Structure 1
Amino acid sequence: MNYNKNSLNEFLFVRFQKGDELAFEHIFKASYNQLVGFCLQFVNNREEAKGIAQEAFVNLWLNREKILKITGINAFLYTSAKSACLKHIRHLQVVKKYSDWRLNEIEKQLQIESLDSLDFNSMEYVELYELIQQSIENLPEKSRMVFEKKRFEGKTNREIAEELGITIKSVEANMTRAIKTLKVNLTEYLPLFFVLIILS
């Protein structure tokens, strides 16, 4: 969905710039799936694509005051996502599978605006990422282990219970405790609805 005066009025855009969470949620719901689809053209892995798209929205929220016009929202999101996708490709050492021609064709097709003139500081995202990691590390040991096995390793409650030698109810209780603690820590920096997406 491209943002213009017909799809996102000036009032909503101004509210977004000023930190209105409902305005940000509107933007997220309107663009998230398309951004994930864009990322899939590069990384070919839905979970990776979703993570990169969410990172782009985090960057958008942290830099909302630097977006000077409605069309800058899409420009920022897609440029940020593309940069992260290419970084991911290089990291996996599969960039050779993607010819320069293919990447250029994708970019032309989407007609993404350049953000060269935007003063983007990625340090804010790095600091937020470190906060998330630190918040997880500071969880009580059992809650941290349950959370990591559930979210990062994709294990079921039964598998976690067997590995840790605890009951399934204990797994559920520790997971609930972990999410509740992380919500409190992270909602100081991000809208609640987005924190819930990150933790889901």
Structure 2
Amino acid sequence: MNEEQDNDLAGWIKQYSVGLRRYFARRVNDADVDDLVQEVFVHLQAKRQDTAIDNPQSYTFTVARNVLISHYRRQKTRSHAFQESLTHEMEIPDFISPERTAIGIEEYRRVVQAILNLPPRARAAFQFHRFENMTYQAIAKRMGISKESVKELIHRALVQIRQARGEES
């Protein structure tokens, strides 16, 4: 490309960039406008190396329209792929059968009964920690015992609950 053609392209950029920005701004997100304008000038530069262009304004906006169509197609493909991925993620992998519901209810009852059967201090420490979201330090202060004692009480409670559920500790 010689210097005259470089100046000519620079002139086109100066002359048509504002109009192209306005053209794209009405049709796409603001974040995409500059990229699309740049893409138009990349196409123009490639075309100008092969062939002389008789009507630069008409050709520039024809290229802009084609770039916009390509942009819409890319967006449609991306959104379709995104929707497919969401659809796959939202599928319920396992049907919740009445049998599974009954098993869940029975396990819930066993856990509640295990909590109720805990020694009073272990049950209190466990409830403070799990249901009231208290720290070991806060529980120790409230119960008037050491933090290590709270840890031990909660550990014992968890072991008993796991045993009640049929898990090994």
Q: What TM-score do you get using the length of structure 1 for normalisation?
A: 0.36
Higher relative contact order (CA 8 A, sep 6+): 1
Whichever structure has more helix as a proportion of its residues is: 2
Please tell me whether Structure 1 or Structure 2 has the larger radius of gyration of its CA atoms: 2
Q: What TM-score do you get using the length of structure 2 for normalisation?
A: 0.42
